[in-house]
Chains A and B, each alone.
Chain A
Amino acid sequence: MRVAFVGKGGAGKSSLAGTFARVLARTGDRVLALDSDPMPGMAFSLGVEQSDAGLPDEAVEEYEAEGSLRYRLRAGLSGTDAVEKYAVRGPDGVHFLQLGKARGARWNNTRQHVGYQRVMDDLPDEGWSVVGDLPGGTRQPFFTWGRYAETFLVVVEPTPASMLTGRRLAKLASAPTNPRVVVVANKVRGPHDANRIADRTGLALLGAVPFDPVLGEADRLGRAIIERDPDGPTVEAVRSLVGSLRSETEH
């Protein structure tokens, strides 16, 4: 299973993506959790201690083609090698890779970005499940950054701003690669909220996650919700999301 979470900033992408990766790993999948933001985010909800798990410079080499400078993985380094070597091991055996910590005020992340893409392009479908946490907003969801994903989960909360973002993402999803795009209603206070979100985004509803005050506490403490409240409503709802997606993709 290869999924990526998108949505407006603050909609709950990282919390759901991190929990999704852990839940999936507990079902026996070998999971690569990906955070393509140079600012730390997903590590907290995964429960990974180290938040800056990027590719080192030496994983990527420069070469020249048609007169311009390009990047590729170092000779002899496959996508699987790179993940085995550089991804941080988290709880439940999750492998965690981040774009890499922003280095200073005017950091140019082209090298890391390209390396990250090459790893994903090279990683075989067989044997890996991938759960990605993409940056918020509409800038970069469906192309380069998220092109590994078979399914995009658009996380939307019941506010007009979040639903408007969901509509924009739904429109952007009509891309050449035509990925599957579904909506996850987050922070809902009843079935009415979830139905309204499906309605207003025009996307198929994969599932709903209830508003959960314990998640706010876990976020304040910097703890993963799956550890703070393993049988609470958020984790329970994410289990349902994993189950729904799995049964849909297997049929």
Chain B
Amino acid sequence: MKIAVVGKGGSGKTTTSAVIARTFAHAGQSTLALDCDTNPNLGISLGIGEEATEQLISVRDAVGAGEEQHATSADDLVERFGVDGPDGVRLAVVSAIQNPEPGCPCCGISPEQMLGQLARPGRVVVADLEAGLGTIMRLHGNPVDVVVVTVEPTAKSLEVGRRAAAAVQEATLGRIVVTANRVRGDEDMARVRAAFAGVDPVMIPDDPAIMDAERRGVAPLDAAPDAPGVRALIGLAELLLDAGGVSG
């Protein structure tokens, strides 16, 4: 099963991806969290800490630096250059832009390529994509099972989310689950529902515990597992798990 998380920058993609991945792993699924952002921060939200996140070497850099002598499979690369996170999640970073002239980020090892190769029976891949639609629109012929579109209840974020969902739908890339983060009340819910008519968006309440965890650089799941916002994100993960988790 492959889950891609997309949305505007700052709409909660990384936090959402981290809770989904850890909830799947906690339920016994073999789970790979794939950080597809060229500015990778997923490690912080998963709970491996800021320092370890900064030191993570991307698969693309490892291959580029010649540390990988032979052509190997994506599975081997994740094995060699990924790290283990809490709840047994395996974390790998596809390509970080670290140098002023890193070459073309579209060439070499790419998120869409890794995402395709890493899919196999018995494993769940949760991909935290770069903001915008670039990556998901390059997933030719290799649709993911579920696309989680994250939005905030702001005019801008809802407009971006609406266009993102339309594009995903047009390209028939998989089932869409709209998740609205930082929802403060009825007015916010009404705004979200108006932007996504005919869809039943998952509402995640605005929760100071999540902001506090982000300011401290720790996983919301570790800092405040019972906070309403975190519980709602776990609920989203369980929904996805029920719908398509891998058994056995």
Closest partner residue, chain B, to A193 (CB atom)? B215
A158 neighbours in B (Cβ, 8 Å): 215
Asked whether any CB of chain A lies closer than 8 Å to the CB of B69, the reply is no
Q: Are A172 and B100 in contact (CB under 8 A)?
A: yes
A19 neighbours in B (Cβ, 8 Å): none
Q: Are A172 and B97 in contact (CB under 8 A)?
A: yes
Asked whether any CB of chain B lies closer than 8 Å to the CB of A98, the reply is no
Min Cβ gap A183→B in Å is: 16
Min Cβ gap B209→A in Å is: 14
Q: Are A136 and B44 in contact (CB under 8 A)?
A: no
Q: Are B154 and A219 in contact (CB under 8 A)?
A: yes
Min Cβ gap B218→A in Å is: 9
Closest partner residue, chain B, to A101 (CB atom)? B163
Contact A219 B171, CB 8 Å, known A9-B131, A135-B132: no
Q: Are A139 and B105 in contact (CB under 8 A)?
A: yes
In the bound complex, how far is the Cα of B132 from the Cα of A44, in angstroms? 17
Contact A137 B100, CB 8 Å, known A44-B156, A104-B167: no
Asked whether any CB of chain A lies closer than 8 Å to the CB of B38, the reply is yes
Asked whether any CB of chain B lies closer than 8 Å to the CB of A171, the reply is yes
Asked whether any CB of chain B lies closer than 8 Å to the CB of A117, the reply is no
* B-contacting 9-mer, from A33-41, A71-79, A121-129: A33-41
Asked whether any CB of chain A lies closer than 8 Å to the CB of B75, the reply is no
In the complex, per-residue mask of A58-81: 1 if CB is within 8 Å of any chain B CB, else 0? 000000000000000000000000
A165 neighbours in B (Cβ, 8 Å): 39, 41
Min Cβ gap A202→B in Å is: 13
In the complex, per-residue mask of B79-102: 1 if CB is within 8 Å of any chain A CB, else 0? 000000000000000001111110
In the bound complex, how far is the Cα of B164 from the Cα of A38, in angstroms? 11
In the bound complex, how far is the Cα of B10 from the Cα of A104, in angstroms? 23
Q: Are B156 and A14 in contact (CB under 8 A)?
A: yes
In the bound complex, how far is the Cα of B170 from the Cα of A142, in angstroms? 33
Asked whether any CB of chain A lies closer than 8 Å to the CB of B54, the reply is yes
Q: Are A39 and B8 in contact (CB under 8 A)?
A: yes
Q: Are B50 and A160 in contact (CB under 8 A)?
A: yes
Q: Which of A8, A9, A161 contacts B217 (CB 8 A)?
A: A161
Closest partner residue, chain B, to A108 (CB atom)? B137
Number of contact residues on A: which range applies?
Answer: 35 or more
In the complex, per-residue mask of B167-183: 1 if CB is within 8 Å of any chain A CB, else 0? 11011000000000000
Q: Are A39 and B132 in contact (CB under 8 A)?
A: yes
A222 neighbours in B (Cβ, 8 Å): 154-156
Asked whether any CB of chain A lies closer than 8 Å to the CB of B62, the reply is no
Which of B41, B98, B191 has the largest number of chain A CB atoms within 10 A?
A: B41
A168 neighbours in B (Cβ, 8 Å): 39, 96-98
Asked whether any CB of chain B lies closer than 8 Å to the CB of A159, the reply is yes
Q: Is the interface of A mostly helix, strand, loop or mixed?
A: loop
Min Cβ gap A94→B in Å is: 18
B11 neighbours in A (Cβ, 8 Å): 9-10
Min Cβ gap B214→A in Å is: 5
Min Cβ gap A174→B in Å is: 6
Q: Are A220 and B39 in contact (CB under 8 A)?
A: no
In the bound complex, how far is the Cα of B211 from the Cα of A160, in angstroms? 12
Asked whether any CB of chain B lies closer than 8 Å to the CB of A102, the reply is yes
Asked whether any CB of chain A lies closer than 8 Å to the CB of B53, the reply is yes
Asked whether any CB of chain A lies closer than 8 Å to the CB of B188, the reply is yes
In the bound complex, how far is the Cα of B98 from the Cα of A37, in angstroms? 22
In the bound complex, how far is the Cα of B131 from the Cα of A84, in angstroms? 31
A9 neighbours in B (Cβ, 8 Å): 8-11, 131
Min Cβ gap B19→A in Å is: 15
Q: Are B9 and A136 in contact (CB under 8 A)?
A: yes
Asked whether any CB of chain A lies closer than 8 Å to the CB of B78, the reply is no
Contact A137 B39, CB 8 Å, known A102-B133, A105-B170: yes
List 18 other contacts, CB 8 Å, given A137-B9, A174-B100. A8-B10, A9-B131, A39-B8, A39-B163, A44-B155, A102-B133, A105-B133, A105-B171, A136-B9, A137-B38, A138-B38, A158-B215, A161-B41, A164-B54, A168-B39, A172-B100, A173-B100, A219-B154
| B interface residue numbers (CB < 8 A to A) | 8-11, 14, 37-39, 41, 44-45, 50, 53-54, 96-101, 105, 130-133, 137, 152-156, 159-160, 163-164, 167-168, 170-171, 187-188, 191, 214-217
13 contacts between A and B (CB under 8 A): A8-B10, A14-B156, A44-B155, A104-B167, A105-B133, A106-B137, A107-B137, A137-B38, A138-B96, A139-B38, A164-B41, A172-B97, A219-B154
The 3 A-B residue pairs with the shortest CB-CB distance, nearest first, are A10-B10, A9-B9, A222-B155
